[in-house]
Amino acid sequence: MNKSKLKLEIERLVEKASFSLRKDVYKLINKAYLAEKNNKAKTALSWILDNAKVAEAERLAICQDTGLPIIFIEIGKGIKISSDLIDIIKEGIESGYEKNYLRPSIVDPIKRGKPSYQGGVFHIDFSKNQKGLKITLFPKGFGSENKSRLRMFNPTVGIDKIEEFVLETVTKAGPEACPPFVVGVGIGGTSDHAILLAKKAFLSEIDKPNPDIYLNTLEKTLVKKINALKIGPMGLGGNTTCLAVKIKKVKTHIAGLPVGVNISCHALRSASVNFKRIIL
C-alpha cells in the first residue's frame, strides 16, 4: 500500500457513500413502502426509492447535504501506522468530495463564511477482533444531527424512562430530520461516550438483529412505539416513522446512567474499506 493508492481508496469511499444508498437501508425503505397504507406517505416513500436509483445512475449525491465526514478507524493486531495515515485520509476525502461535485459544507463555527471541503471528525479504536485496518466513512447530514440529545439519568431509573427519552427525542426531531429515521442509542460510559456509541450504532447492519437479546427486544419495542407516533415521511403520517433502532451499551459509573440519542435521516450513508496491512 502506497500513499497514492490509499488516497484513491478513500476517494472511492466518498463516492460510494455519497451516490449509493446502503443495501440494508434500501431494503428496509422498500419493505416499508410495500407495507404502507397511507397513500401520501406511500408516494413520499416511492420518491425516496426513486431518488436512490437516480443518484446511483446519474452519479448525483443522494442528498445535497453531503454531510460532515466522520471517519472511524479500527486498528487490528500487528498494524503499525503513524499520523501520516490521517493526513492521507484527509487528502482523499477532500479530493473525493471535490472530484465528485459534492457540497462544500464545512465552515468556522463562529466566523462562518464560505464553506469548504476541509474538515472532518476522526475516531480511532484499537480492536483485537479486527484483522488488519478498517476505515469507515460516515458523512453525517445536519438536518438530523441537529436533533441529537444527551441525558444523564439517575442510576435508579427504570428502562421505561430511557424509552420515554428516545420517544421524546424522535417527537422533537419531527419531519425536519427527514423520517423515516434510523435511531441510534448509546447507553452507559460517560457523556461523550454515550453520544459516540449512539453514532457507532448506525454502522451495524440495520436489518440484522442485535446480538444482545435484551437490547434486541428493546430495539423492537422502540420501533413499534416510534412508528405509533405516525410522523411519517415528510411528516405526512402513515406507519413509517422509523426503519430501525440500534442500541449499544458499555459499562458506566455507579452514580450515573448516560443516554445519548442520535438520529439519522433515511439517507443513512456509510462505506468501509479493509486493508490487510499498511505500509506507508
Partner 1 sequence: MINIKTPITKKEIKVLKAGDAVLLSGIIYTARDQAHKKLVELIEQNKKLPLELKNQIVYYCGPTATPPGKSIGSCGPTTSSRMDPFVEPLFKQGLLGMIGKGRRSKKVRDFVKKYNGIYFISPSGCGALLAGKVLSKTVVGFKELGPEAIYRLEVKDFPLIVSIDPFGKSILGDV
Contact 251, 190 (CB under 8 A): no
DSSP 57: H
Contact region for partner 1 (CB under 8 A) — 39-47, 70-78, 79-87, 121-129? Answer: 39-47
Which residue lies nearer to partner 1 by CB, 17 or 48? 48
Contact 132, 274 (CB under 8 A): yes
- In whole angstroms, the minimum distance from the beta carbon of 143 to partner 1 comes to 5
One residue of 32, 41, 72, 105 binding partner 1 per CB under 8 A: 105
54 binds partner 1 (CB under 8 A): yes
Which residue lies nearer to partner 1 by CB, 103 or 123? 103
What is the spatial distance between Cα 242 and Cα 276, in angstroms, rounded to a whole number?
36
Which residue lies nearer to partner 1 by CB, 47 or 214? 47
Helix, strand, or coil here: 263?
Answer: strand
Binding string, 166-205, against partner 1, x = CB under 8 A?
--------xxxxx---------------------------
Which residue lies nearer to partner 1 by CB, 44 or 257? 44
What is the phi/psi pair of residue 112, to 5°? 60, -115
- CA torsion, ordered 192, 183, 51, 46, to nearest 10 deg: -170
Which residue lies nearer to partner 1 by CB, 110 or 254? 110
28 binds partner 1 (CB under 8 A): no
One residue of 4, 64, 221, 274 binding partner 1 per CB under 8 A: 64
What is the spatial distance between Cα 224 and Cα 218, in angstroms, rounded to a whole number?
10
Q: List binders of partner 1 among 110-149 (CB under 8 A).
A: 112, 114-115, 143, 146
Instruction: List helix spans (H) across 113-152.
Output: 142-145
CB atoms within 10 A of CB 154: 9
Contact 195, 147 (CB under 8 A): no
Identify the CA nearest to 103 among candidates 40, 60, 146, 49.
60
Helix, strand, or coil here: 278?
Answer: coil
One residue of 150, 234, 250, 273 binding partner 1 per CB under 8 A: 234
One residue of 63, 71, 166, 222 binding partner 1 per CB under 8 A: 63
What residues line the site for partner 1 (CB under 8 A)? 40, 44, 47-48, 50-52, 54-55, 58-66, 101-105, 112, 114-115, 143, 146, 174-178, 233-236, 265-267
